[in-house]
Amino acid sequence: MAQPANDDDLWIADAAAELGNHTDDTDVYNRLQPKLRAAVRRGVPVATDSTGIEVNTRALRFSLARIVQDVCEREIAALHIDTDGKVVERVRIDLIGRYDDDLEVLADTVRDAARAGLGRLLGPAIGAQIGIEIRWSDLESPTA
């Protein structure tokens, strides 16, 4: 069933109408690029252990970010969830550490917390199979 257009989708119709008025692809790209970056990305539904129950990757990303923030109190530079279209295959969390952090220990703590969170959200069998990669994007001075 088709969904009615909302304000977030109307720019696509406007862009399509503009395509007929421009012959230069670069001009079209330059006009659409800011809107594409600002567009709300709907999440992808992924399976859980419970038949018929799915979790949206956008909600999953939000929940994992809160779990990580609660566990390590570090800034999250990025949080990526890779799926095969229905199942979460890998999670990559890019963090900003501090100069006095033991990065290996903190990465293990975050990985364990993320795995436990995925187990609660998707089910223990699925959560245990997901690869979790922790990367350190940058370091900042500790606050005194």
Question: pLDDT in tens for each of the 144 residues of the chain?
Answer: 344 445 555 666 566 666 555 555 666 667 666 766 666 567 788 888 888 888 888 889 999 999 999 999 888 999 999 988 888 999 999 999 888 889 999 999 999 999 999 999 999 888 888 999 999 987 776 664
78 and 27 in a common domain: no
Q: What pLDDT shows up at residue 136?
A: 92
Amino acid 70: pLDDT:
92
- The residues near 62 (Cβ < 8 Å, ≥ 6 apart) are none
Range of the domain at 55: 45-140
Number of folded domains that form the chain: 2
Q: Are residues 20 and 52 in the same domain?
A: no
Torsion sign (Cα): 20, 25, 29, 30: negative
pLDDT on residue 10: 61
Residue 1 located in a structural domain: no
120 and 58 together in one domain: yes
Output the pTM of the full model.
Answer: 0.67
- Mark whether 34 and 105 lie in a shared domain: no
